[in-house]
Amino acid sequence: MPQSLATERRYIQTYLKILFYTHALRRYDLDPSERDRRNLLLLVADEFQDIITTSEDGVSDHKVIDRIRGAGACIIGGMQSELSADPAIGEKKRKVLTLNMRTRFIFRAADQEGATTSADFIGKHKVWKRSISTKDLGSRTVTRHQALEYRIESSKLMTLPNHKAVIVHPSKATVSRTIHPLYN
């Protein structure tokens, strides 16, 4: 579609997304055994922030995403940063939306704020820290204390190599993998 039709493209994409949601939600009209036999539905949307919508009375992404997951549907939404959705739906609704998006592939962060948000999502863990202090006569004091540290620092998320992703499972288990492109 030509760039001159950007607004029309957004309307069509939003319409198709709402049709996807409606199709997925209609699965709740089926018997649970029949619903379990249905195939997985995928909505793959690059630049997902361009089609995110919010509505108090209608279909909103942040309100429907958990229900369609239960109906056997999945959204794969690519954004430059988790914060990219804020202008469209606001911070609070974006947090609800992203918390319901369970597995995350985190690539190199575009900015510090996005890196910090991703590091917060990955989480912190307890580590033992040790400090050693010495006095004049050669006596030494060793102190140990527990501290919380990010599992992956935001600075590391900003310097990930090309095609390297930190994959975060809903259980908070993380793994780093290189995802090679299909083309050069």
**Intra-chain end-to-end CA distance of the chain, in Å:** 24
163 in a structural domain: yes
* Relative orientation angle of helices 61-70 and 6-25, to the nearest 10 degrees: 40
Q: How many domains does the chain have?
A: 1
pLDDT at 1: 62
User: Is 138 part of a structural domain of the chain?
Assistant: yes
Domain that holds residue 91: 3-178
Residue 184 is assigned to a structural domain of this protein = no
Confidence at residue 171, expressed as pLDDT on a 0 to 100 scale: 86
Question: Is the four-CA dihedral 16, 108, 98, 40 of positive or negative sign?
Answer: positive
Q: What is the pLDDT of residue 44?
A: 93
| Residue 115 belongs to some domain of the structure | yes
183 falls within a domain: no
Residue 18 lies in a domain: yes
91 lies in some domain: yes
* pLDDT < 70: residue spans in the chain: 1, 184
What is the domain-level CATH number for residue 42? Answer: 3.40.50.300
The reply to whether 42 falls in a domain is yes
